[in-house]
Amino acid sequence: MVLALLRDRRYQPMRPKEMAGLLAVPKSERGDLGAILDSLCAEGLASVDGFGRYSGTARETAEGIFTANERGFGFVTVDGEDGDWFVPAEESLDAIDGDLVRVIKVRDGGSYGERTFRTEARVVAVLQRNTTSVVGFFKKTAFGGRVIPDRSRFTFDIRIPKEATKGAVSGQKVCAELVRYGREPEGRIVEILGHVNDPGVDVLSVVRSYGLPTDFPIEVNEQLPSVPREVVAEDIAGRTDLRGLLTVTIDGEEAKDLDDAISLTEEDGRVILGVHIADVSNYVKENSPLDREAINRGTSVYLADRVIPMLPHELSDGICSLNQGEDRLALSCIMEIDETGAVISHTICESVINVNHRLSYHQVQGVFDGEAEASEGIEDAVPMLLRMREIADRIREARKSRGAIDFDFPESKIILNERGRVVSVEPHERNRATAMIEDFMVLANETVAEEFHWMSMPFVYRVHEEPSIEKMRELAGYVSHFGYRLHVSDKVHSKEVQRFLEKVRGKQEEALLSRLTLRSMKQAKYSTECLGHFGLASRFYCHFTSPIRRYPDLQIHRIIKEHLHGMLSEARIAHYEEILPERAARSSMTERRSEEAEREVEKMKKAEFMRGQLGEVFDGVVSGVTSWGVYVELPNTVEGLCRLTDLRGDYYVFNAKTMSLTGERSGHRITIGQPMRVMVAAADKASRTVDFVPA
């Protein structure tokens, strides 16, 4: 475009010296050529300073996704860059959260003394609008109405003309389609979700806000009657028959989609562990309506009052679920484990199994604890379960010895009544039984990934790359203020991170430093390259064990089965090489989308619960200290803010190095991990916040 303008008959191409002279002229004197120079700036071929003067020096440009902050500024994620580029509010143009933008680098990131600065950039063009609709609170006005977006990252209200309100009234949650962008966006109501206080509307608002698909398309529903309700003889032919093997599933009490089962046998002193995974690919064929919708969803989403499954319940709870006492098709990874917990040989095969017992984590933990009632009715499986625990201990110790990192953050369990209201928030139980299943699944994932890596087959891996040296050095400098040493050289070793986390375990500052360490890591993702998994200290890793709820698992099951049948011809390999990069990228995107939605619902339901506890006093622990206040976490995992202005009786000064507040008169010090008694002062579902005051 710029070259075309320069070649316009009115403006002949200029020599470098002429261009340099032109660029030296102030913008106010540019006339029509100012538009050309603005285009040059947008392309990164020139720049303009704060006084409106042009320079012929090209600045680095990049494209990336814009992530907005509720205070107006934002960040751009640029491929190949370790850190995001910071965009000040006045330099964001009219970009909104999720847009693909072009930016010009204004200032390189770096350190000045003990302060670290991000790379700073300016948005010069919005290349693609990725937000087409917004969910929010409708407020009627004289000209029609306004939609106040639920998501704080969308920083502008949406103007709705009278003819586009669809009859919405104040107090309703609505979905608005954007018809005009900018700093005064305009839209039209396309769906009224219900009144803000109606049961289920709060979660539905999050579902719509994140664009999570709920109803299955007509073509999927038309395909469902052709899916068998039970295993037929022709499907069993040629499979390894493992129905005589003592096999169990171990899941949560409420789980219905059971996609993994385990067995353990010993032959001549050899320990044989079987991990049997539902053969979903037998029923979900490539490019079928079921498959296309599974790609679109990418993953099942688990919200407080509902599950949005990747596959219809006829499959996820039916023929694909490894239900007790029913023949089921599986892909089995059968591994021989040595005394050190390592796999010394393995077989991957198509199988048919019949689960003997459907067990829960709670029941298996009861067996481990020697509770007699936990063993009732499963006496034949008890010796195997106890032996499994010993084998899992070996596997976990082997993984720990190579440097695997274990982040043990408390998870939440939100209990609702029949109307969808929160009646309790509790820490989610994580016991030795859950850890044992994790150990077995991780081992199977590693084994499968290694085999297909060495075969140089097209594949989808689960990767967690090494953190950047810069971020780890920042972390090392920070933890030194707490008296800890984190050694960072030219390479980051997971074992060093593991040692550091073991040192802080049980200390007051454990929660803070563990979270900071996690934030210093890169985000795990799916990739066609086998880049290893830093957190697990594993060279080879994939997701093989959950094809009912994760698309990458289903995708690699097809590849595995085609390999087993000798069907991976050059044409099929070329086919997978073509489609897998996009499938991996989309799976990473849908995973992040579901995680964000689950997090939003959890925060919202916690705020709803605490709204019923106003005036109540709780004993909590300081989980964060900032210049604006103290975050306190309660035993039920709810976290709230105690503002600096509410710390009466003294003037507190914030120390960023030690993350502490100190009273100027009393010398009283507030730090991470110390106990604090608080009273619930406020709770807001809309902003997902809880406010405390010192009790």
pLDDT in tens, 520-569: 888 999 999 999 999 999 999 999 999 999 999 999 999 999 999 999 99
The answer to whether residue 306 scores a pLDDT higher than 70 is yes
Q: Does residue 213 form part of some domain?
A: no
Helix, strand or coil, per DSSP, at residue 597: helix
User: What is the arithmetic mean of pLDDT over 144-167?
Assistant: 90
* pLDDT in the model for residue 14: 41
Mean pLDDT rounded to a whole number for the chain: 88
Residues 487 and 508 placed together within one structural domain of the fold? yes
| Cα dist from 272 to 104, 339, 510, 544, whole Å | 58, 12, 38, 19
> In the prediction, which pLDDT does 296 show?
96
Question: Comparing 93-107, 428-442, 587-601, which segment has the lowest mean pLDDT?
Answer: 93-107
Crossing angle of helices 570-611 and 289-297, in 10° steps, is: 50
Q: Are residues 514 and 557 in the same domain?
A: no
- Pair (435, 357) in one structural domain: yes
Q: Taking residues 613-627, what's their average pLDDT?
A: 91
Beta-bridged to residue 308, according to DSSP, are 301
Supply the pLDDT for residue 118.
Answer: 76
Do 417 and 316 sit in the same domain of this protein?
yes
475-491: average pLDDT: 83
Q: How confident is residue 31, by pLDDT bands cut at 50, 70 and 90?
A: low
CB atoms within 10 A of CB 330: 27
pLDDT, residue 40, reads 55
User: Within this chain, do residues 185 and 297 fall inside the same structural domain, yes or no?
Assistant: no
| 551 part of a folded domain | yes
Nearest partner of 89 among 138, 155, 20, 141, judged by Cα: 155
Is the pLDDT score of 504 beyond 90? no
Q: How high is the pLDDT of residue 597?
A: 94
Better pLDDT: 154 or 83 = 154
Burial class (CB in 10 A: 0-12, 13-18, 19+), 422: buried
Q: What local confidence, expressed as pLDDT, does residue 57 receive?
A: 46
50, 38 contact by CB (below 8 A):
no
Question: Do 332 and 314 share a domain, yes or no?
Answer: yes
The dihedral over CA atoms of 278, 284, 286, 288, expressed in degrees to the nearest 10, equals -170
268 and 407 in one domain? yes
Same structural domain for residues 72 and 12?
Answer: no
The pLDDT of 234-253, averaged and rounded, is 95
Cα atoms in the Cβ-side hemisphere of radius 13 Å centred on 587: 28
Whether residue 144 sits in one domain with residue 268: no
- Within a domain: residue 206? no
Give the mean model confidence (pLDDT) for residues 391-396.
96
* The pLDDT of residue 661: 92
Whether 87 is in a domain gets the answer: yes
Residue 15: pLDDT above 80?
Answer: no
Residue 205 placed within a domain:
no
Identify whether residues 631 and 491 lie together within a single domain.
no
Q: Is the pLDDT assigned to residue 43 strictly greater than 60?
A: no
Q: How many domains does the chain have?
A: 6
Domain boundary among 107, 128, 149: 128
Residue 82 is predicted with a pLDDT of: 64
Domain boundary, last residue among 102, 128, 154: 128
Residue 19: pLDDT over 60: no
Answer yes or no: is 183 within a domain.
yes
For residues 533 and 405, state if they share a domain: yes
**More confident position, 22 or 603:** 603
What's the pLDDT score for residue 658? Answer: 79
pLDDT recorded at residue 555: 98
Confidence at residue 32, expressed as pLDDT on a 0 to 100 scale: 57
- Which CATH number belongs to the domain containing residue 109 in this structure? 2.40.50.140
Last residue of one domain, picked from the residues 146, 166, 198: 198
Proportion of the chain above pLDDT 70, given as a percent: 90
Residue 106 CA, distance from chain mean position: 30
The confidence score (pLDDT) of residue 98 equals 83
Confidence of residue 6 (pLDDT cuts 50, 70, 90): very low
Whether 49 has a pLDDT exceeding 60, the answer reads no
User: What is the pLDDT, as a whole number, of residue 67?
Assistant: 87
Using 50, 70 and 90 to split pLDDT, how confident is the model at 42?
Answer: low
Average pLDDT over every residue of 508-524: 83
Q: Which amino acid is at 566?
A: G
Residue 504 lies in a domain: yes
pLDDT at res. 9: 31
Residues 534 and 677 in one domain: no
- CA dist 133 and 662 (Å) reads 46
**Token pair listed for 587:** 């799976």
Which pLDDT belongs to residue 225?
95
Residue 369 tokens read as: 């604890």
pLDDT of residue 38: 59
- Residue 556 covered by a domain: yes
Q: What range defines the domain where residue 102 resides?
A: 61-128
Strands (E), 196-300: 240-241, 248-251, 260-267, 270-278
Is the pLDDT at 3 greater than 50, yes or no?
Answer: no
Above 50 in pLDDT, residue 362?
A: yes
